Structure 1
Amino acid sequence: MLLGACGSVGSRQIKSERTNYNLAVQETEDSQLLLNLVRLKYHDTPVFLELTGITSQSTFESGLSNGDPIAEIAQPPSLIWKPGPNLTFSAQPTVSYMPLHGEKFAQQLLAPIKIESLMLLYRSGWSLQNILQLCVQRLNKIENAVHASGPTPETAPRYEDFASIVSSLVKLKHSGHLDFVYEAFPTPKDATRIVLHVSPTAFHLRHVQDLLKRLNLAPGKEHYPVTYSLVEHGGSAELDHLEVETRSLQGLLYFLSQAVEVPDKDVKDGLVTVTRTADGGTFDWAKATQGLLRVRSSATRPPKASTKVQYRGSWFYIADSDLVSKSTFSLVTQLVSLQSGDSARLTPVLTLPVSR
């Protein structure tokens, strides 16, 4: 019976511990990302720790104890005891971390996000509008808050034309008139490329013609290959391809850090940069980020937050009911994983026993 009890306790403990560790990893990963966004808003240095392993050593001890007395005998004086089982279980988890830094990680952080990664996310079901708005800073020279890919700029960015074009792209995509697709083209290895496909039946539509004109694309073509280029083209000649300039992973994090709402006291103390409009007013960054993320701040611990972190004496959090921000946060987490890959482990791993 004792062996059976041990087996039962062990199986229940495995289920419980696995769930608890899973939740803890998810919560700490989200907290680290949020913390680094807040750090960037304050012009502080972000730090990334990778969880490299969790091990847990479990110990079972079983035996018999005297239990409680059930009878007393007068002659000779003695007690009759009822023996009972004695089960003891203990678990000692050990967590290992590795700080991410060095040349390889810096290159991953600063390298432009791959167009193939964006296409992978798009074909997996993520919103085209969100992907373009977050990760692309130029479409054929049309800017999307380019200077927000670094520390908070002092002057308001240009983003209106880009946002309007992305909105038109999405509407025409939903209407079935165009889409981003893979196209096979003849090479020695039968490679594929990403193209903006325009349905021939939509060539004559005014909205399609207007979009192509705004993107400076030559009309009447069915496929416009998507390329990455930093080359500035002179003149106004129409293009037969769509040039996409993506943000780097660091640029994406800087861009999203503009969505952090800072306590008024920190603004007055000059701890963050205040972006000004042309008339001297305070620029509303929710317009440039299209409301895709909102990080609120509070003097007290927020009661209903999906992710929260305490920094510089204030709490920063994403409200649990803010589904748009939670979705954006999940998208960024996947982008971080895609862009980071396997970082070279050139530094010692920090291993910590966890007290129970």
Structure 2
Amino acid sequence: MRIALILQRSLQALFITSTALLVSCSSFGPSTIERDRMDYGLSLNTSIKQQLLGNIVRLRYMEAPIFVDVASVINQYSLSGNIDAGIGFNSGNNTGSLGAGGRWEDRPTITYSPISGRKFSESLLTPIAPESLFALVQSGWSTELMFRLTVAQINGVVDANPPLQADPRFREMLSVWNRLREARIIALRRSSNLNEKAKIVLYVNDVELDEQTREDLLFLQETLGLRKGAKEFTLSYGLISNDPDALVVLTLSILDMMVDLARLVDVPQQHIDEGRTFPTFVDTGLGGHLLKVHSSLEEPEMPYVAIRERGYWFYIDDRDLMSKRTFGVLQILLSLTDSGDAAIGPVLSIGG
């Protein structure tokens, strides 16, 4: 009886353990989705921010930027186990044993793709199309932020170009443009004809304008040299306009934006004194700073993004909303320039 009882209990333990292992294996695949999607998504986002900040800092020291895309992530999981049980008898004494073992393997394979050649040219050296820029502004993106970040000049009115400060009229024009957009006085109109340029339209017919709107329209016309009474102005890329019915906008490429922002990075004074880089540019125009990147010997506690370069930590403070917004928009603009396979993003494959 005693032997039978031992055998019965051992078999029960073996059945329970093996059942638990089978259940865990049957639900192993679905359980990885939530963890893998969040973990890899967070890691990719952090890596993208660090790479962008690292390139801006390196541009500050006159180094060429290097971008490496994550083309694919293939992760292979493996879970195996073994269970054994046995009963033995020796000189009237009975003994029993029960054992289990397992092995877990996580084997990620990550493919990297450096951005170079034609892809580098298209992504980083191509100026933002004026039509795309004004469409973003019309859809609600900040006029001040988008124009200051992406526009060098409009009809000859120049924004800050380190080491030169901005024409005061440029910054004032941004506020005027924003008010007119919110009042639905000014807007972008596209044509179905691909050969026809987009136009900026003033919707002032049969509208009773208040004093502020009248002043804004007059300021815009005088500042940009637009013909008074005209309601439509062609929009194009270029340097200077000689046409009173045209808006000629000199936009920047992603690399141009990064170079301008690099001049704002706060580097150690010792590096400036030793001739490693130029003095930090301080924008004294209206609107405050676009981006502040701090440097410190000590690792920051809770940064928005931080990298270590040349023995220092360079970081954006998580409490600096303007810098975070500028950096985030730059990320979005960089992603919008991707084409082909790069626009799809990295492929994540999980196998078991």
Superposition TM-score, scaled by structure 2 size:
0.81
Q: In the superposition, relative to structure 1, how do residues 288 and 111 fare at CA in structure 2: closer, same or farther (>3 Å)? A: farther
Structure 2 distance, partners of 1:225, 1:64, is 78
Give the SS at the match of 1:199.
coil
Count of aligned residue pairs for this structure pair: 319
Q: In the superposition, relative to structure 1, how do residues 210 and 18 fare at CA in structure 2: closer, same or farther (>3 Å)? A: closer
Q: List aligned pairs for 1:203-214, cutoff 5 A.
A: 205-214=214-223
Q: In the superposition, relative to structure 1, how do residues 191 and 59 fare at CA in structure 2: closer, same or farther (>3 Å)? A: farther
Amino acid aligned to 1:247: L
Residue of structure 2 in register with 1:228 after alignment: 237
CA contact (8 A) 1:256 1:289 kept: no
Amino acid aligned to 2:52: L
Q: What do the CA deviations read for 1:54-98 (whole angstroms, capped 9, x no partner)? A: 1101111032145xx9x99774344212455x4432211111111
Give the SS at the match of 1:58.
strand
Check if 1:171 corresponds to 2:187: no
Q: In the superposition, relative to structure 1, how do residues 232 and 214 fare at CA in structure 2: closer, same or farther (>3 Å)? A: closer
Structure 2 distance, partners of 1:250, 1:191, is 29
From 89, 107, 110, give the equivalent of 2:125: 110
Q: Which moved more, 1:301-310 or 1:286-295?
A: 286-295
Structure 2 distance, partners of 1:183, 1:339, is 21
Structure 2 distance, partners of 1:209, 1:324, is 30
Check if 1:180 corresponds to 2:187: yes
Unaligned runs of at least 5 residues, structure 1: 276-282, 345-356
Structure 2 distance, partners of 1:242, 1:270, is 41
Residue of structure 2 in register with 1:338 after alignment: 336
From 184, 197, 200, give the equivalent of 1:195: 200
CA contact (8 A) 1:178 1:198 kept: yes
Residue of structure 1 in register with 2:291 after alignment: 293
Shift of 1:300: 1.1
Residue of structure 2 in register with 1:264 after alignment: 269
Aligned structure 1 segments of 4 or more residues deviating by more than 6 angstroms:
71-74, 189-192
Residue of structure 1 in register with 2:148 after alignment: 133
Q: In the superposition, relative to structure 1, how do residues 194 and 4 fare at CA in structure 2: closer, same or farther (>3 Å)? A: farther
Residue of structure 2 in register with 1:43 after alignment: 62
Check if 1:121 corresponds to 2:136: yes
Identity %: 28
Amino acid aligned to 1:328: T
CA contact (8 A) 2:171 2:287 kept: no
From 47, 57, 80, give the equivalent of 2:76: 57
Structure 2 distance, partners of 1:43, 1:20, is 34
Q: In the superposition, relative to structure 1, how do residues 40 and 289 fare at CA in structure 2: closer, same or farther (>3 Å)? A: farther
Amino acid aligned to 2:335: S
Residue of structure 2 in register with 1:304 after alignment: 302
Shift of 1:179: 2.7
Structure 2 distance, partners of 1:194, 1:90, is 59
Amino acid aligned to 1:169: W
Q: What do the CA deviations read for 1:95-151 (whole angstroms, capped 9, x no partner)? A: 1111111144235422221123323433554212211111011111001124x4xxx
Q: What do the CA deviations read for 1:329-353 (whole angstroms, capped 9, x no partner)? A: 1111111122242489xxxxxxxxx
Q: In the superposition, relative to structure 1, how do residues 222 and 12 fare at CA in structure 2: closer, same or farther (>3 Å)? A: same
| Higher-helix-fraction structure | 2
Check if 1:274 corresponds to 2:279: yes
From 240, 246, 251, give the equivalent of 1:241: 246
Amino acid aligned to 1:222: K
Residue of structure 2 in register with 1:321 after alignment: 319
Residue of structure 2 in register with 1:81 after alignment: 97
Structure 1 distance, partners of 2:134, 2:31, is 42
Q: In the superposition, relative to structure 1, how do residues 44 and 139 fare at CA in structure 2: closer, same or farther (>3 Å)? A: same
Structure 2 distance, partners of 1:131, 1:59, is 48
Give the SS at the match of 1:46.
coil
Structure 1 distance, partners of 2:299, 2:88, is 59
Q: In the superposition, relative to structure 1, how do residues 101 and 9 fare at CA in structure 2: closer, same or farther (>3 Å)? A: same
Between structure 1 and structure 2, the one with the greater Rg is: 2
Shift of 1:257: 1.3
Shift of 1:266: 1.4
Give the SS at the match of 2:337.
helix
Structure 2 distance, partners of 1:231, 1:331, is 27
Q: In the superposition, relative to structure 1, how do residues 167 and 342 fare at CA in structure 2: closer, same or farther (>3 Å)? A: same
Amino acid aligned to 2:117: G
Superposition TM-score, scaled by structure 1 size:
0.80
CA contact (8 A) 1:159 1:288 kept: no
Q: In the superposition, relative to structure 1, how do residues 3 and 72 fare at CA in structure 2: closer, same or farther (>3 Å)? A: closer
Give the SS at the match of 1:47.
coil
Structure 2 distance, partners of 1:13, 1:336, is 31
Q: Which moved more, 1:204-213 or 1:306-315?
A: 204-213
Shift of 1:286: 6.2
From 240, 257, 277, give the equivalent of 1:252: 257
